[in-house]
Structure 1
Amino acid sequence: MAEHLSAHYAIGLTGGIGSGKSTVADLFEAQGIVVIDTDAIAHQLTAPDGLAIAAIGQQFGASAIAANGAMDRQWMRELVFSDGTAKRKLEQILHPLIRQQCEHLAAMATTPYVIFAVPLLVESGNWRGRVDRILVVDCKEETQINRVMKRNNLNQEQVQAIMRAQASREQRLAAADDIIVNETDLNSVKMQVQTLHLQYLTLASAANNKSDA
């Protein structure tokens, strides 16, 4: 796999808004596994003095930069939501930098496998070649809507608009090698994470033995 981002066995973790990706990522971290969060990297890149700020200011003008020197997220969100060309230009700035940072963090990892947490993994279309397996956190769409309404103080129409901009539940499940169902209680999710963790340790060990042979 020429595109593989890591010398380690690699898992791509994704799920729709409100599915519980962060909870699952935290549970894998509790097992001692390195989780590389592309959303967190994007926030660092667009924070004051972030590596993407100069290019964003150059491409989009002073309006794109807030008074504190960070990217003006609200301004940019409104722009890319209505302008596909602007969205592509922002991605052309951010994606190579995110990839570079992912490679750097993965190279420093000392765990048997690493997890890349990628909210829009299915939408991006190029993560399949970068990881060994794709893990999807899944729940019913009504569960997603209720969680996000409660968490983000949004109404149902606003949440559904966000969901329409993402891959559908069916598209995510079709891309999945593994699925964690996050519908009921945390204990159920913990047990599923534990089962997959043991499976990934076995797969990582087999992959390492093969590469050493």
Structure 2
Amino acid sequence: MRKIGLTGGIGAGKSAVSQLLASYGAVLVDSDLLAREVVAPGTPGLAAVVEEFGPGVLGPDGALDRPALGAIVFADPARLQALNAIVHPLVRARSAELEAAAAPDAVVVHDVPLLAENGLAPLYDRVIVVDASEQVRLDRLVRLRGMAEQEARARMAAQATREQRLAVADFVVANNGSLAELEQQVKAVWEQLTA
């Protein structure tokens, strides 16, 4: 089994790259999806988040109100650290379960937004960084995700710098252009991973 870390700043296009890799045959372990799974209603993870941040982070349906929690943690690095201390161990445990279930010859791609921030590069055989300019990322967050520019800039600032991400990269996929250009680069990386 080859264990690949995939990361990129918010708005860089990491999801598009992970979908392409999965279409080529990679087993995808998506940390964002797992982070939602481990704080779903009824889970110990959600109970721990509510204990730490109060009932104001719950919506009327009893599910986590992500925008309310985001407003707290993205404005205060200490609060973000408290949230990560709850969620990250749960995500790591679930990732390990999914990896253990993969075939022995699989290429397992771990989609990890905070790979560089959390010093996780040594856990992987190779690291792929999806890179896009700050302006392209900002435009995607505002135009495609409907974020206010100030919120988008705050989320970007809360992550590793572009230089920090590139420093851990074995492969860099530049995503400032078209989907066809992206596909071409991802296919080339896949061919190297499976050679």
Report the TM-score, using the length of structure 2 for normalisation.
0.90
Alignment of 1:73-112 (within 5 A): 73-110=66-103, 112=106
Q: CA offsets, 1:35-63, max 9 Å, x none?
A: 11101001111221234122223333333
1:181 pairs, out of 160, 174, 180, with 174
2:65 pairs, out of 72, 79, 96, with 72
2:160 pairs, out of 167, 177, 193, with 167
Query: How much does 1:159 deviate?
Result: 2.4
Structure 2 distance, partners of 1:83, 1:144, is 22
Q: CA offsets, 1:83-116, max 9 Å, x none?
A: 4433222222111110000000111112521000
In the other structure, the counterpart of 1:39 is 32
In the other structure, the counterpart of 2:5 is 12
Check whether the contact 2:74–2:155 (CA below 8 A) recurs between aligned residues. Answer: no
Structure 1: gaps (5+ residues): 1-7, 203-213
Q: CA offsets, 1:102-159, max 9 Å, x none?
A: 000111112521000011111112x122111110011222111222221122344432
Report the TM-score, using the length of structure 1 for normalisation.
0.83
Is residue 2:50 matched to residue 1:57? yes
Q: Given the superposition, is the C-alpha separation of residues 75 and 120 from structure 1 closer, same or farther in structure 2, using an over 3 Å criterion? A: same
Check whether the contact 2:8–2:165 (CA below 8 A) recurs between aligned residues. Answer: yes
CA RMSD of aligned residues (A): 1.7
In the other structure, the counterpart of 2:107 is 113
User: Which stretches of structure 1, 4 residues or longer, exceed 4 Å deviation after superposition?
Assistant: none
Letter in 1 for 2:83: L
Check whether the contact 1:64–1:72 (CA below 8 A) recurs between aligned residues. Answer: yes
1:146 pairs, out of 139, 145, 152, with 139
Check whether the contact 1:9–1:132 (CA below 8 A) recurs between aligned residues. Answer: yes
Q: Given the superposition, is the C-alpha separation of residues 171 and 84 from structure 1 closer, same or farther in structure 2, using an over 3 Å criterion? A: closer
* Greater radius of gyration (CA): 1
Q: % of aligned pairs identical?
A: 37
Structure 1 distance, partners of 2:87, 2:11, is 24
What is the aligned length? 194
Query: How much does 1:169 deviate?
Result: 1.3
